Amino acid sequence: MNYLEKMKTAIEYIETRLTQKLDLDDIAGAVHYSKYHLHRLFSRTVGLTIHDYVKRRQLTEAAKLLVFSDRPILDIALLAGYEGQQSFSAVFKAMYKQSPNRFREREVFYPLQLRYEFAGEFPMTQTDRPLFPIRFAFEEDLPFWMELTRLVVDGFPCLDEAEHIRTVRQCMKQKEALIITDGQRALGTMLFSYDTGTIGFLGVHPLCRRQGIARAFLDKLTDELLPEKTAFSITTYRSGDQADPGHRKALISLGFGEAEPLVEFGYPTQRFILPNRRSLIHG
């Protein structure tokens, strides 16, 4: 069994026991792997520790029950693996930025984390650079696009899937949607604006985050599509947000710098700015 098969087994074990208390010993035993190696491989593959993945998945399922059921909050807290409503409410508010009661009242569900699905072969994991070209995305790419969006939803607070699909379709018509595929799935996607240089969405398949896909997208904007722009902008989590799975750090590693704080869809975010190196060289 290769490491991806072990990850699939671990995720299956977790997903069938989200209403239970889960610990690393039990999960490692289920996949017949040492705790050390399982922790290391899971973190590298998924981008989250097992503890964080479990917490985010349990809170997502709890949020779904808050909106789509009438179950008491205490019952939901117990189903999410918490010993009481108070501890559940504290963690829920830290991640969702509102109390369980308020979340229920607003009747707007969005996931912190959806189940990770890994199917097929992944040749991109065998290289340190993109194997497939960046191209404009079209309507027929939408199933691939949304499959990837669901995998990386942890990086986009308050993402509404129906609204996202409408935005993607509009950007596709305007040639403001880029995609990399391997014929089986999307490995990376980006929405951008010719007018403003704003990056509205940047998703990279978890198994391909070390293959330079995000940098390749940025180079595409800089060198081909928007060489005249002096800077590009994107928004992500604010500093200290416990819901951030590492997107601030990833943007900083790409050369983005912090700008002004914002509130988007009622959620506190922050704008990041990337100077166009071409404009700096030729300016």
Report DSSP letters for 25-93, one per residue: HHHHHHHT--HHHHHHHHHHHHSS-HHHHHHHHHHHHHHHHHHH----HHHHHHHTT-SSHHHHHHHHH
165 shares its domain with 272: yes
- Average pLDDT in the 102-120 region? 90
Residue 108 φ then ψ, to 5°: -125, 110
In-domain check, residue 7: yes
How distant, in Å, are the alpha carbons of 6, 32, 33, 60, 281 from that of 1?
Answer: 7, 10, 11, 30, 50
In-domain check, residue 51: yes
pLDDT at 126: 62
Q: Encoding tokens for residue 201?
A: 């969405």
64 shares its domain with 155: no
pLDDT at 3: 78
pLDDT at 99: 97
Mean pLDDT over all residues of the chain? 92
Check whether 205 has a pLDDT greater than 70: yes
pLDDT at 210: 84
Check whether 255 has a pLDDT greater than 90: yes
138 shares its domain with 244: yes
Q: Which of 31-35, 76-80, 126-130, 247-251 has the weakest average pLDDT?
A: 126-130
Q: Is 276 helix (H, G, I), strand (E, B) or coil?
A: coil
Note the pLDDT tens digit of each residue in 217-229. Answer: 999 999 999 999 9
Q: Encoding tokens for residue 63?
A: 């949020």
In-domain check, residue 94: yes
**CATH code where residue 149 lies:** 3.40.630.30
Residue 161 φ then ψ, to 5°: -60, -45
Q: Percent of the chain having pLDDT more than 70?
A: 94
pLDDT at 39: 92
156 shares its domain with 262: yes
Phi-psi region of 107 (alpha: psi -120 to 50; beta: other; left: phi over 0): left
Note the pLDDT tens digit of each residue in 228-243. Answer: 999 999 999 999 999 9
In-domain check, residue 68: yes
Residues 138, 144, 149: CA angle, nearest 5 degrees:
105
Check whether 277 has a pLDDT greater than 90: no
139 shares its domain with 31: no
Q: Which of 44-48, 87-91, 118-122, 271-275 has the weakest average pLDDT?
A: 118-122
Total residue length of the chain: 283
Half-sphere exposure for 134 (CA within 13 Å, toward CB): 24
Check whether 43 has a pLDDT greater than 70: yes
Q: In the chain, how many domains are there?
A: 2
Residues 218, 141, 244: CA angle, nearest 5 degrees:
50
| 37 Cβ contact list (under 8 Å, min separation 6) | none
141 shares its domain with 102: no
59 shares its domain with 182: no
- Average pLDDT in the 4-13 region? 90
Split at pLDDT 50, 70, 90, the class of 124 is low
198 shares its domain with 247: yes
Residue 237 φ then ψ, to 5°: -65, 155
86 shares its domain with 169: no
- Average pLDDT in the 137-145 region? 97
User: Which range marks the domain in which residue 81 is found?
Assistant: 3-106
Split at pLDDT 50, 70, 90, the class of 5 is confident
User: Are 205 and 151 a contacting pair, CB within 8 Å?
Assistant: yes
49 shares its domain with 172: no
29 shares its domain with 150: no
Q: Where are the alpha helices (DSSP H) in the chain?
A: 3-15, 24-31, 35-46, 50-68, 73-79, 85-96, 100-106, 142-151, 161-173, 213-220, 247-253, 277-282
Its pTM stands at: 0.91
pLDDT at 22: 87
In-domain check, residue 9: yes
Check whether 69 has a pLDDT greater than 70: yes
Note the pLDDT tens digit of each residue in 76-90. Answer: 999 999 999 999 999
- Average pLDDT in the 40-54 region? 92
In-domain check, residue 115: no
pLDDT at 209: 86
pLDDT at 123: 65
Task: Write down the residue that tokens 């922790």 correspond to.
Answer: 39
